[in-house]
Structure 1
Amino acid sequence: MASDSTRSREFTFTRNHFVKVRDELYDYAGIVLADHKQDMAYNRLVRRLRELKLSNFDDYFSFLDNNPVEFSQFINALTTNLTAFFREKHHFDFIANTIIPEIEQNGCYRVRAWSAGCSLGEEPYSLAMTLLESGLDPSCWDIRLLATDIDSKVLSSAKSGIYSDDRIKNLPSNQVKRWFLKGKGLHKGFVRVKPELQDLLKFNYLNLMQDWPIEGPLDFIFCRNVMIYFDQSTQARLLDRMHALLKPNGYLFVGHSEALARHASNFELVGKTIYRKVG
């Protein structure tokens, strides 16, 4: 018998439909969609059926199979984007207090870093702010920050650097004044990050399951709250690839709910969800 939620749905969404969604997402992006996410999958994808004026999910899957461009919309609908400026602030403090002094001590004036799964851009812009607030002068330092995501829609938003006022409400006023331009007229209620931050960043689409056109070695990688969506074998492969990209003693930052204990041979814990490359 159909559940109450199934009977009340605008479109029929069976277990087989969910399995199709789950398998497509895993095959393309390596993301594991748990069984309890069936309602979420329906709610996210039903918007596409309405926009495409399709009658049922079978028609949608046929459309998906025959229109590769729709796959980006499919991925965009099913990926989650939760972010904030200076989220898990101790990570940024570690960069300012430990990584930058180490680079300077080695007589190097070069920084290479990657924000993997950058979402709407708050993370890489926070990285750029951290470097400049630490006294790094782009006219003297060679700074390159790469920011990537599998969601093309959020990447476009991140690249624009435009945010509503509520996204910066928890930042100190002096930081807001230094790094953001306030909108006026039709743009009132919004801010834009200043060009000197955008100049340090390059935003690119990247599926972590495919090739990484990234030049190493990197000083550090932010891959926070990304690996929780992958199974253990996929996590292990990703960590091996990140290990290879990092310079000797380079750093990997992960999310607060992620742990690399089973990969201790490649990384050592040096701070709260902060790991250093070994070997």
Structure 2
Amino acid sequence: MVSVDALDILDDACFTKLISLIHALTGITIAKNRKSMVQGRLRKRVLALSLKSYEEYFEFVQIHDEERKPFIDLVTTNETYFFRTPRIWSHIESQTLPAWYQRNPGKVFSAWSAAASTGEEAHSLGILCQQFKDKNVSFNYEISASDISQRVVKVCREGVYQGRSIESFRNSMPETFSKYMLQNSDETFSVHPDVKRKMNFFEHNLFTSLKDKKTYDLILIRNVFIYFTSADQRKVLDLILPKLAADGILIIGESESLTGISSGLAKVENLIYRKDSR
């Protein structure tokens, strides 16, 4: 039987090895002052595997490839909600979609939520696109959304939500909420099927290239750069920008900036960039 007391201590040497492994697998840089967070997230898993220490768990992850996905699920932060940062959604609704629609008659608007977490962002975009389609019948769209975590991709695919995220959406946008969110038999809500059928969710590590050859008219990569070093931000941008269509729009998170990164992007306004097609 595993001694719980043995898991009360995560020594510095093992912590350093764990955060190096996290960086190698995800690109995420964990600060040295987050040891208690890492320890807290791994503790139950170590116990469940009947291992005696965090050192043993580190070795276990190294040896067993199938443990890497549970490990990634535990150490990645997935916190989001519907229509986060209202002004970027206002920009998409009032400028991005109308301008694209006018320039591209008969084409399909394609977007990618590149760090989708539990899917509220991707579904927010889907709802905006469906609203636009309801007013412009010939408009068509498709949304891809990805995350490194197997667990949250499953949540994305289900499209069932409850709690604070739902309450915030319902209170701030009651008409939109009632039209595009359907209440289940309990306290959960599902995204409307008209939106769901336009969505594609998949696992993806931002430090690898997407296998498909398509490009996207809009890419959302929000609230993930803050976990990367400047060098790693550059690596991710180098992989993402070839997937952005000419004159396509890229949007980052409210605590992020591309200042100092030569990116081939022209700033439209804070957080919003257009691919420089020159």
TM-score by length of 2: 0.91
Distance 1:58 1:265, change over 3 A: closer
> Which piece of structure 1 moves more, 253-262 or 206-215?
206-215
Q: Give the match's secondary structure for 2:235.
A: helix
CA distance in 1, matches of 2:266, 2:87: 18
> Any residues of structure 2 matched to 1:61-210 within 5 Å, and which?
61-108=58-105, 109-135=107-133, 140-171=138-169, 172-184=173-185, 188-210=186-208
Asked whether the equivalents of residues 11 and 56 of structure 1 are also in contact (C-alpha less than 8 Å), the reply is no
Q: CA deviation at 1:134?
A: 1.8
CA distance in 2, matches of 1:75, 1:30: 11
Q: CA deviation at 1:243?
A: 1.9
Q: Counterpart of 1:239?
A: 237
Q: Counterpart of 1:212?
A: 210
CA distance in 2, matches of 1:264, 1:96: 28
Q: Counterpart of 2:17?
A: 20
Counterpart residue type for residue 174 of structure 1: E
CA distance in 2, matches of 1:276, 1:211: 21
CA distance in 1, matches of 2:209, 2:150: 17
CA distance in 2, matches of 1:197, 1:97: 19
Q: Give the match's secondary structure for 2:60.
A: helix
Is structure 2 residue 276 aligned with structure 1 residue 275? Answer: no
Counterpart residue type for residue 210 of structure 2: W
| Structure 1 alignment gaps of length 5 or more | 1-7
Q: CA deviation digits over 1:194-222, x for unaligned, max 9?
A: 11111111000001112312433211100
Q: Give the match's secondary structure for 1:212.
A: coil
Counterpart residue type for residue 85 of structure 2: E
Q: CA deviation at 1:139?
A: 7.1
CA distance in 1, matches of 2:108, 2:152: 28
Asked whether the equivalents of residues 28 and 209 of structure 1 are also in contact (C-alpha less than 8 Å), the reply is no
Q: CA deviation at 1:140?
A: 3.5
Correspondence for 1:34 among 28, 31, 35: 31
TM-score by length of 1: 0.90
Distance 1:268 1:127, change over 3 A: same
Q: CA deviation at 1:136?
A: 5.4
Q: Give the match's secondary structure for 2:65.
A: coil
Query: RMSD in angstroms over aligned alpha carbons?
Result: 1.8
Asked whether the equivalents of residues 6 and 52 of structure 2 are also in contact (C-alpha less than 8 Å), the reply is no
Asked whether the equivalents of residues 49 and 56 of structure 1 are also in contact (C-alpha less than 8 Å), the reply is yes
Asked whether the equivalents of residues 218 and 247 of structure 1 are also in contact (C-alpha less than 8 Å), the reply is yes
Q: CA deviation at 1:165?
A: 4.6
CA distance in 2, matches of 1:225, 1:78: 16
| Structure 2 alignment gaps of length 5 or more | none
Asked whether the equivalents of residues 143 and 200 of structure 2 are also in contact (C-alpha less than 8 Å), the reply is yes
Distance 1:28 1:81, change over 3 A: same
Is structure 2 residue 51 aligned with structure 1 residue 50? Answer: no
CA distance in 2, matches of 1:114, 1:228: 19
Q: Give the match's secondary structure for 2:236.
A: helix
Q: Give the match's secondary structure for 2:7.
A: coil
Percentage identity across paired residues of the two chains: 28
Q: Give the match's secondary structure for 2:168.
A: coil
Distance 1:138 1:204, change over 3 A: farther
Q: CA deviation at 1:265?
A: 5.3
Asked whether the equivalents of residues 11 and 57 of structure 1 are also in contact (C-alpha less than 8 Å), the reply is no
Q: CA deviation at 1:97?
A: 1.2
Asked whether the equivalents of residues 181 and 192 of structure 1 are also in contact (C-alpha less than 8 Å), the reply is yes
Q: Give the match's secondary structure for 1:248.
A: strand
Q: CA deviation at 1:137?
A: 7.5
